[in-house]
Amino acid sequence: MRILAILGLITCSICVFLTGTAQQSALLQQRLDVRVKNMPVITFMKWISQQTGNSFAYPNEILEGRTSVTINERDITVQTILERIFPPAKYDIRTIGHQIIIRFKKQTSLTADTLQPARIMQMNTVVVTALGINRPKYTLGYAYAEIKGEEMTAARDIHPMNTLSGKVAGLEVSAVNSGMGGSTKLTLRGMRLLGGNNQPLLVMDGIPVNNSSPGQAERYGGYDLGDGTAIINPDDVETISVLKGGASAALYGTRALNGVILVTTRKGVRKGLEMAFTSNIQLEQTNNQYDFQDSYGSGRDGVLPVSAAEARWVSQYSWGPKLHPDSLVWLWNGQQAPYVKARHSIADFFREGFTRINTLAAATGNEHTQLRFSYTNTGTHDILPQSGLQRHNLSARVTTVLGRRFELDTRLAWLNEQVQNRPALSDNPNNVGYVLTGVAPNIDLNWLKHYKDRVTGNYINWNNNTYQVNPYWAVYEQPNASVQNRLNGFLQLKYKISPDLAVHVRSGMDYSDFSFYELMNYSTPVNPLGAISLKDRRLWESNTDLLLTYSRQLNRWGITLNTGATRMDYQERVRNTTGREMNIRGNRGIENFSTRMRNEMILRKRINSIYASLDKDYGRLLHLSLTGRNDWSSTLPADHNAYFYPSASAAFQFSELLKDKRILSSGKLRVSVAQTGTDAAQPYLLRLSYAYNPDIPSIKGYSIGGVAVDNVPFADLRPGISKGYEAGLDLAFFNDRVSLDATWYHTNTLDQVLNAPVSSSSGYTSAVINSGNIRNQGIELGLTLVPLTRQQLHWDTRFIFSRNCNRIRSLNTLVSPYYTMAVGRWGNASIVAKKGEAYGMISGKQFLRDVQGRMVLDANNLPKYTTTDGYLGNNQYDWTGSITNKVTYKRLSLTILLDIRYGGNIYSITNLLAYGNGKQKGTLAGRDAWTRSEEERVSAGKRPEEWTPTGGLLVSGVQAGTGNEVQAYVNPQTYWTRVSDNIPEAFVYDASFIKLRELHLDYQLPRFSTRFKEATVSLTGRNLATLYKAVPNIDPESSYNNTTAQGLEYGSLPMRRSYGIKLYVKF
C-alpha cells in the first residue's frame, strides 16, 4: 500500500506540472521577500544562496569597497536585487547551470568553457549535510568531502561505489573480486567494531538505504550475493557527500558510528526540456597475474603416474620429473600424451568480458514544478564463461511548489537485477580459481572440456579430490542464479510558516526482494545424487521524519535551529530451502528432490528518535554548531534502551581578518567533539527464542519445538559507544591555486556487542556480551595544486594521504587472549583481536626459532613450528593515498588516478597450495640437485636413512634438543609439504600496491559541429595496470568476503582491467 501511495503522489505531482503555468523563468527571475538593513554583502549573498539553492562565482576584487546592503521589498526578483548591488553599467550578471556568475564588464569575453575555478571565488558553496540539511561549506566545523556525480560516470564501474576509490582521504574502498553483481566494502577512518558491520550508513536523498548483503562466502565456501548499492544509479547522482567524523554524522545517532555517505540525486530543470543519452561500452580482460613454474609436471617424488588411476591422484600435483618431449604421461581418461608444457593454460579458460551501459534521462520544468526521469540498462558478459548480468534502473523525481507556502519533493527508484552464475568463492567445490591454479603445467585445459559422458551425461572424474570439480563442469553444469527487485523512494512536504520558519514532513521506504538458487548436479563427486539450495530474502525499511527549521539573519549574526523526530521500522524475512537426491535429471524444481528441508527467520526492529541542532554564526568569521539526538532501540533492554548522542563543532574563518588576500585566499580552523553509537544490529539477543526444529522427528505428526538460538542471552545489553575528537585546518593560497586541508582525529569505541565463545557443556556455543575498546586515531591530508592555468590550458593535480593507527585497548576476559573474527580454510591462520594489538591481526603457527632467530630443525632436518599461534601480520594498511592529475586543453581533457596502499598483510592460501603442490616458482630450488642425489643413492645401493644427500633444497638452522648448527639438503617436496601443512607464517605477504585505477580522455565536440547542446566522446579505462605489488599470483585486494575476512585470500579470480568508449549527448 505504501508503494501505491507513493506512486499515486508522483502521478498527482506530474498532473500539477502539466497544469502549471507555461511561462518559464530563468534563475535570475526567482522572486524573494527581502527585509534587511545594513547587512554585509557577503552575508546577504549567502542568504540568497540559501533561499534559492544556487551558488555564486565571481573574482575576489568584485567585493572591494562594498560593505552592506539595505533592502525592504516583497516579491522582488533575484536579478533586480543583484543589479542594485552590482549596477549593469559596470558589471555583467549571467547564469551557468545553477550558478550565478558576476564579473566586470571587461571580463565578459570569458565563457563558461574558459572560466577556471582558480580565477573565481566559490563563496557560498552550499553542501548537503546530515538529515539532508543544506549548509554553506565555510560554516562546517568538521572534515567534509564531496564527489560530483560526473566523477562516478567518467570511468564507469558496474559496482557504483567502486568509483569512489582514491578520491576521499580516509575512505577505503575494497571489493571481493567476485565479478559482476558483487559487493563493495566502504570503511571510513578505520575499523571500529569487532563483531559488527564496519561500513558507513548509506543515505540517499535523506532516506537510509539498507546496504546489507544477502550472503557472503566464509571459510568453507559460498558466494558474494551483492549489497544495496546497486539501487544507486550513477547517472542520477548529483553529489556524494562523505561525513567522516562523529560531529558530521551525530544527527544519525545509533546508526552513525561508522560515518555516513549521503547520496543526493538530480532534479528537474526550471526551464525548457533537457534530454541526455549516455552510452558506455567496455571490454574486460584478465590482467595476467600468474607466475607459476612450467618446468615440472604432474607426479610425485619426481615420478610420473604409471596408470590412469594414478593420474587421477596427481593431476593437481606438480612434483613429477622435468618436462621432456620424449616422455609420455598417463591421463585420467586412460590415454597418454606428450609430457610437455600445455598449450592452453589458466588464462585460456577465461573469455573477454563485455559490458554495455545505456542511459536515457529527461528533465523538464518551469518556475513551479520540475520533473526528471531516467532509465539505465546494464548488460554484462563476464570473463567467467556462462556468467552474466542484466540490470534495469528506473527513477522519477518531481519537485513542485503548491501555492506560496507548500513545496513537494518525491522520488521513486526501481531496480531489477538478474545475475547468472556468480563465481563460487573460497572452498566451494565450484570455485574455478582454486582448481585452475593447481592444474599441473602439462595438463592442457582443452582436455578438461570433455567433462561428461556423452551417453549417460555423468561427470567424468579427472581428480580423486571430490572438492576439486572440473572447472568446465562447474560453469556449464552447476548453475546458480539470482533475481533482485528493489524499490527505494520518499515523499517530502515542506510548509513555510513564515520566511524564517518551516516544517518538513518526510517519509521514505527501502524494499528489497531477493532470491537465489544453486544446483549441485547429479553425479557431481561431492554430492553424487544431486542437491539444490534456495534462498529468499525480503526486507522492508521505512523512515519517517518530522523536522522544524528556523533561520534568521540579524545583521552579522545568524542563527539556525532544527528540531525533529524520526521513526525507523525494519523487517526482514529469510527463507532457506534445501533439497537432496534428485529424482529426474534435468528437472531443477525443488519438488524433484526426495529430501527437502526449509527454515524461516523473521527479524523486526524499531528505533524512535528525537533530535535538535543549533547553528550560530557571526558573518563568515565564526560558526558554532551544537547537535543532540536521543534514540530508543527495540533491540536493547526496555529499562535502559534510551541513549543520547551529542556533538559540538566550531569553525573560525581567520582569513576574514586579513585585508590582503593575495597570498592567503582563505583559511579556516575547525574543531569538533561528538558521541555516536551502535545498538545490537540483530534483534532477539535479550532472551531465549523458540522454533520448530525440522531435524527432530515429529511425534504423532506434530513437530517438536526447541530453543532456536545457540547463544546465552544478555538482559543488560548496552549499545556500543564511540567518542571522538577532531581538529583540522583548511588553507587556500594565491587565489586558490594551492589548497590544503588537514585533519587529525581520535575515536574510542566502547562496549561492543560480541558473541563470546563458551563451553558447549552449557548447552550454548556463545554468550552475548559488551566488551572491547578500540582506539582509532590518524591524520588526513589533501593537497590541490593548479600548476598551470591559461586561457585554453589548465592543469589540476590532487594528492591525498591518510594514516590510521588502530589499537585494541581492552577485551573482556571471556574472549581473552583472542577474539576470533575469521578463519582461513587451510593452514590454521585466523583474523583475531588481541589486547594491545591493532585490529585485524593475522594469527597462526610460526617457524620455531631459537633466541638468535635461527630456525629449529627436527631429526629429518625439516623445520619445526610453534605449538601456539603468534603474530603473523595485520590486514590493515599503514597508510593509503592517491594522485590525480587532470590536464585540459581547449576541449580535450585527460584524467589519471593512481591509487596507492602501503603496508598491511594478506594470508594467501592460493600461494600456500601452490607451494604444497609444487606449482609455485619458489619450489624449483633444489629439485634437479635432489634428483641427481637420489640417482647417486640408488646407484650406491643405499637406503634413504643410510644416505647423506648431496643435493637438494639447502636448509640452515639448529638441531632441536642439541642446539648444534645444521646445514643440510632435503627433498623440496617434503620441505614444502611440511611448511604448507603446518606453518602459515610462510604465506603471509605484504599487501602494498600501486594501481592505475582510473584513466579517461574526454573530447567535447564543438556545438556548431553537432545539433546537440553538448556532446562528449571519451576513452575510458579502469584498473589498467598494477604498477607495484609484493604478493605473487593474486590481486593484493583479494579476500573471500567483505566482512571480517579482509586479509584472507583463497582461490581468488584473476585481476581484471577494463577499457572502453563513452558517448554523452545532451539535447
pLDDT at 133: 84
| 67 burial via Cβ count (<10 Å: 0-12, 13-18, 19+) | exposed
Assign 197 a pLDDT band (cuts: 50, 70, 90): confident
The position carrying cell 578463519 is 823
R_g over Cα of the chain: 32
pLDDT at 2: 40
| Of the listed ranges 778-782, 813-817, 1042-1046, the one predicted with least confidence | 813-817
pLDDT at 28: 79
User: Is the CB of residue 398 less than 8 Å from the CB of residue 9?
Assistant: no
As a whole number of angstroms, the distance between CA 123 and CA 655 comes to: 13
Question: Which of 92, 126, 98, 83 minimizes the C-alpha distance to 111?
Answer: 92
As a whole number of angstroms, the distance between CA 786 and CA 796 comes to: 5
- Express as a percent the part of the chain with pLDDT over 70: 92
Quick one: angle between helices 909-916 and 972-982, nearest 10?
Answer: 150
Average pLDDT rounded to a whole number, residues 1008-1019: 84
As a whole number of angstroms, the distance between CA 332 and CA 308 comes to: 5
pLDDT at 431: 95
Question: Which of 185, 163, 139 minimizes the C-alpha distance to 237?
Answer: 163
- Does position 979 have pLDDT exceeding 60, yes or no? yes
DSSP state for residue 421 in the 8-state scheme: -
- Does position 1063 have pLDDT exceeding 90, yes or no? yes
Please name the residue ranges forming H helices in 175-262. 246-249
Question: β-pairing, 126-128 with 99-104?
Answer: unpaired
- Does position 114 have pLDDT exceeding 80, yes or no? no
> Which residues have a Cβ under 8 Å from the Cβ of 866 and sit 6 or more positions away?
845, 846, 847, 848
User: Is the CB of residue 6 less than 8 Å from the CB of residue 491?
Assistant: yes
- List the grid coordinates of 157: 564501474
As a whole number of angstroms, the distance between CA 720 and CA 773 comes to: 10
> Which residues have a Cβ under 8 Å from the Cβ of 46 and sit 6 or more positions away?
123, 124, 136, 620
Check whether domain 208-286+352-430+478-579+600-810+876-904+991-1066 has CATH 3.40.109.10, yes or no: no
CA distances from 816 to 600, 680, 841 (A): 34, 22, 14
Q: Which amino acid is at 300?
A: R
User: Is the CB of residue 164 less than 8 Å from the CB of residue 187?
Assistant: no
Position with higher pLDDT, 898 vs 22:
898
- Does position 681 have pLDDT exceeding 80, yes or no? no
pLDDT at 707: 73
CA distances from 468 to 177, 421, 424, 428, 429 (A): 21, 18, 12, 9, 6
- List the grid coordinates of 762: 552449557
CA–chain centroid gap for 527, Å, is 35
DSSP reduced 3-state for 16: helix
User: Is the CB of residue 270 less than 8 Å from the CB of residue 97?
Assistant: no
Measured from the Cβ of residue 554, the count of other Cβ atoms closer than 10 Å reads 10
Average pLDDT rounded to a whole number, residues 365-379: 94
Q: Which amino acid is at 829?
A: A
As a whole number of angstroms, the distance between CA 507 and CA 546 comes to: 9
> Which residues have a Cβ under 8 Å from the Cβ of 517 and sit 6 or more positions away?
480, 481, 482, 532, 533, 534, 535, 588
Q: What is the pLDDT of residues 846-874, one digit of tens each?
A: 999 999 999 999 999 999 999 999 999 99
Question: Which of 690, 750, 687, 689 minimizes the C-alpha distance to 714?
Answer: 687
Q: What is the pLDDT of residues 714-760, one digit of tens each?
A: 878 888 899 999 999 999 998 889 999 999 999 999 988 888 887 77
- Does position 520 have pLDDT exceeding 90, yes or no? yes
- Does position 121 have pLDDT exceeding 60, yes or no? no
> Which residues have a Cβ under 8 Å from the Cβ of 237 and sit 6 or more positions away?
149, 152, 263, 264, 265, 266
What one-character-per-residue DSSP string does 722-782 give? EEEEEEEEEEEETTTTEEEEEEEEEEEEESEEEEEE--GGGT-SEEEEEE-EEEEEEEEEE
As a whole number of angstroms, the distance between CA 723 and CA 1059 comes to: 44
Q: Which amino acid is at 45?
A: M
Beta strands in 429-500 (DSSP E): 480-496
Q: What is the pLDDT of residues 555-573, one digit of tens each?
A: 788 899 999 999 999 999 9
- Does position 1002 have pLDDT exceeding 80, yes or no? yes
pLDDT at 104: 78
The position carrying cell 578520491 is 167
DSSP reduced 3-state for 410: strand
Reply yes or no: is the peptide bond before residue 817 cis, omega within 30 of 0. yes
**Class in CATH terms, 2-124:** alpha beta
Domain boundaries of the chain, sorted by first residue: 2-124, 208-286+352-430+478-579+600-810+876-904+991-1066
Q: What is the mean pLDDT of the chain?
A: 89
CA distances from 577 to 100, 531, 537, 893 (A): 59, 11, 12, 53
Phi, psi of 588 (to 5 degrees): -100, 10
Alpha carbons within 13 A on the beta-carbon side of 885: 8
Q: What is the pLDDT of residues 910-966, one digit of tens each?
A: 999 999 999 999 999 999 999 999 999 999 999 999 999 999 999 999 999 898 999
User: Is the CB of residue 542 less than 8 Å from the CB of residue 507?
Assistant: yes
- List the grid coordinates of 590: 525443488
- List the grid coordinates of 688: 531465549
Alpha carbons within 13 A on the beta-carbon side of 183: 22
DSSP state for residue 458 in the 8-state scheme: P
pLDDT at 698: 59
As a whole number of angstroms, the distance between CA 455 and CA 463 comes to: 21
Assign 115 a pLDDT band (cuts: 50, 70, 90): very low
pLDDT at 989: 98
Average pLDDT rounded to a whole number, residues 661-678: 92
DSSP reduced 3-state for 524: strand
